[in-house]
Amino acid sequence: MIAFYRKIRQRLMNENKLSKYLLYAIGEILLVVIGILIALQINNWNENKKERFRSHTLLENLVEEIKQDSIYFNNVYEVEKNTFLKSAELLFDVHSNSNLEIRDEAEMGMAFRFACFTPVIKFSDNAYKELISSDLLKRIKSDKLKRDLHEYYSQINFLLLYSEQTHGITNDLIDQLANYYIVIPEKKSDDREISNFSGAGEGQFTTHYNLDSFRKNKSLNPKLYDMIDIHKDRLGGLKIIKTLGQRIQKEAKKEINNERRSE
């Protein structure tokens, strides 16, 4: 093809047809420019296709990460609400009311051990970080999804910070409560079952506690009340995170499906 055009150009020059040669030259330039533009367009289309595929993959990974995190957060929420918060409330009630009857010795023993327990906050944000670092977050069309993602990880980081800031309070109370109870295993260590922190393995332990001495230490009252507040604050944060996680999963799946239909 190039040789063909060269022959035409050489013939026009030999025949001294300047005007025709100029027209030919302009046409040749236009063809080259059009070819470059087409090549650039194809390249841009390919790059956009690659970005689309990568953003879809990252969104799918993000949905899976949040799904797994949601399972963990649900477990933490349930055990903190039904075991750790209730333990703190029971200790506070028993400490505040010397006439309160202890109906369940095992439950009272668990209360001393679990009242200050605050499960660690664990989560995965690899896909979200990659969406940001690769600048692919801008490809998400749903502004609501982008806002919820920002709020979701902001809430998790806030809960982490809150847990760190209250760590000293919980540790101090753990040390003080340790003066009023002792745990005695019922079985040899190699015979014990694994506890799921719901009291399933509590039959393997006996907790002896001194309620009279516990109640006489009046300085424990505000600290136990603070411990209840800490559990409630954490539960409030976990509830927000759970709601956002469920919403993000639905919105992200909808975003992926809409993008695939438009391809």
User: 8's torsion region: left (phi>0), alpha (psi -120 to 50) or beta?
Assistant: alpha
Question: Residue 197 and residue 253: Cα distance in Å, rounded?
Answer: 34
Question: Residue 226 and residue 115: Cα distance in Å, rounded?
Answer: 11
Q: Which of the pair, 1 or 185, is modelled with greater confidence? A: 185
- DSSP for the chain, written as a single string: -HHHHHHHHHHHHHTT-HHHHHHHHHHHHHHHHHHHHHHHHHHHHHHHHHHHHHHHHHHHHHHHHHHHHHHHHHHHHHHIIIIIHHHHHHHHHHHH-TT-----HHHHHHHHHHTT---------HHHHHHHHTT-GGG---HHHHHHHHHHHHHHHHHHHHHHHTHHHHHHHHHHHTTSEEEEESS-GGGPPPP-SSSTTGGGEEEEE-HHHHHH-TTHHHHHHHHHHHHHHHHHHHHHHHHHHHHHHHHHHHHHHHHHHH-
Tell me the pLDDT of the chain averaged across its residues: 83
Its pTM stands at 0.77
Q: What is the mean pLDDT of residues 115-122?
A: 94
User: 135's torsion region: left (phi>0), alpha (psi -120 to 50) or beta?
Assistant: left
Q: Which of the pair, 200 or 37, is modelled with greater confidence? A: 37
| Beta bridge partners of residue 58, listed in sequence order | none
Summarize pLDDT for 49-105 with one digit per residue, the tens: 666 777 788 889 999 999 999 999 999 999 999 999 999 999 999 999 988 888 888
Please tell me the predicted confidence (pLDDT) of residue 159.
96
Summarize pLDDT for 218-261 with one digit per residue, the tens: 999 999 999 999 999 999 999 999 999 999 999 999 988 887 76
Residue found by looking up tokens 């999963």 in the block: 249
Summarize pLDDT for 133-164 with one digit per residue, the tens: 888 888 888 999 999 999 999 999 999 999 99
Domain segments of the chain as ranges: 2-262
Q: What is the mean pLDDT of residues 12-20?
A: 54
User: How would residue 106 be classed by pLDDT, with cut points 50, 70 and 90?
Assistant: confident
Please tell me the predicted confidence (pLDDT) of residue 10.
59
Please tell me the predicted confidence (pLDDT) of residue 241.
97
Query: Taking 60 as the threshold, does the pLDDT of residue 192 lie above it?
Result: no
Please tell me the predicted confidence (pLDDT) of residue 200.
44
Query: Taking 60 as the threshold, does the pLDDT of residue 203 lie above it?
Result: no
Summarize pLDDT for 4-13 with one digit per residue, the tens: 555 555 554 5
